[in-house]
Amino acid sequence: MVPVVHSHRLRVRYSETDQMGVVYHTNYLNWFEVGRTEFIRHADLTYRQLEEKGVLLPLTDASLSYKKPAKYDDEVEIRTLVSEITPVRLTFSYEVVRVSDGELLVTGRTHHVFTNTAFRPIRLSRTEPAVYDWLEKQHKGGE
């Protein structure tokens, strides 16, 4: 079983770089958010719709490993997949790759917990079983 990988491309903007033209390190976390937002959009669901259903997905932990820098005007691809899922937790894994040469720039993971609007943990498999099933299917390779 190979998880489904969603890819999203973007071009590095000047405002995302430092004086040397290198992407400032915290911007990768923003790109991870773009990756998971677009990943969820493939379920014909937006974060806003999920929140309207009373389901939040707060971040509990993040890790990044920098391999090579992205630079101003590079086109990069954010590759996102569900690497772990339980009824109460979800982990996304990411790769940021430069499109022009396929160079791996950054890898990372974000850990989340499913909560209600009062930030109390919920079991997504009970609250929104269709959403949970879709995420689990992505983790298992879209079977």
CA angle 123, 128, 133 (to 5 degrees): 90
This prediction's pTM? 0.94
Is the residue at 1 inside a domain? no
What pLDDT is recorded for position 134? 92
Domains in the chain, number: 1
- Residue 75 belongs to a domain with what CATH number? 3.10.129.10
Is the residue at 14 inside a domain? yes
Is the residue at 123 inside a domain? yes
- Quickly state the pLDDT bin for 44 (edges 50, 70, 90): confident
What pLDDT is recorded for position 13? 97
Is the residue at 101 inside a domain? yes
What is the longest distance spanned by two Cα atoms in the chain?
49
Local structure of residue 29 (DSSP, 8 states) = H
Q: Is the pLDDT of residue 138 over 60?
A: yes
Residues with catalytic roles: 18
- Quickly state the pLDDT bin for 143 (edges 50, 70, 90): low
Owning domain of residue 113: 6-139
Whole-angstrom distance, CA of residue 58 vs CA of residue 113: 6
Is the residue at 26 inside a domain? yes
Per the CB < 8 A criterion, the answer to whether 15 and 21 are in contact is: no
